[in-house]
Amino acid sequence: MDFRLCPMTEQDGSRISGWQYPPPYDRYRWPPWEKMQREAREFGDPAVRAAQYLSVRSVHDGELAAYVQLFPLDRAIRIGLGLRPDLCGLGLGRDVVRMAVLEARRRRPDAEIDLEVETWNRRAISVYEKTGFVLSDTYERMAEHGVVQVLCMVWRPHPSGNRGEDAKA
């Protein structure tokens, strides 16, 4: 499946907040859209949505397939992403991660690119490793569903260039 990045619309945000993941991935569910808007939370805040969030759409039919967050840190960009539940497990995550890395590099070429992933989420960790991310640190942090153990992974371009993560701009 071919994807393209687009600005995230309010309608996209509403749809994403309604995505239902099966256990144990259901912990990644967003709050209801009305609550996100009322609290100006993440992509429920129009300014944050415009600055940090992108929708991932199918090139073929324009359907919303995923979202990407590019969160600016001091010397890094932290990637966050979510794939539509019915598309999980189909091998599409690598393409979304690659697009996120390319967009992060376009926005801030000299910034480190990292992400956080809960230690139990082997499926996501495997995708990140296959797209050039390596373990940087392990720590606990507070999440919506409680204190979680996370890996911080940093993107490292593959020297041979054969993975496509260090794709040419």
What pLDDT, on a 0 to 100 scale, did the predictor assign at position 159?
A: 65
User: How many percent of the chain have pLDDT more than 90?
Assistant: 87
- Tell me what the pLDDT averaged over the chain comes to: 92
What pLDDT, on a 0 to 100 scale, did the predictor assign at position 124?
A: 95
Span 86-113, average pLDDT: 96
The domain defined by 3-111 folds into Aminopeptidase (3.40.630)
Q: How many CA atoms does the CB half-sphere of 65 hold within 13 Å?
A: 24
Span 18-23, average pLDDT: 95
Q: Where are the domains of the chain?
A: 3-111
Q: What is the pTM of this model?
A: 0.90
- φ/ψ (deg, to 5) at 124: -65, -40
What pLDDT, on a 0 to 100 scale, did the predictor assign at position 20?
A: 96
Cβ neighbors of 122 (< 8 A, separation 6 or more) are none
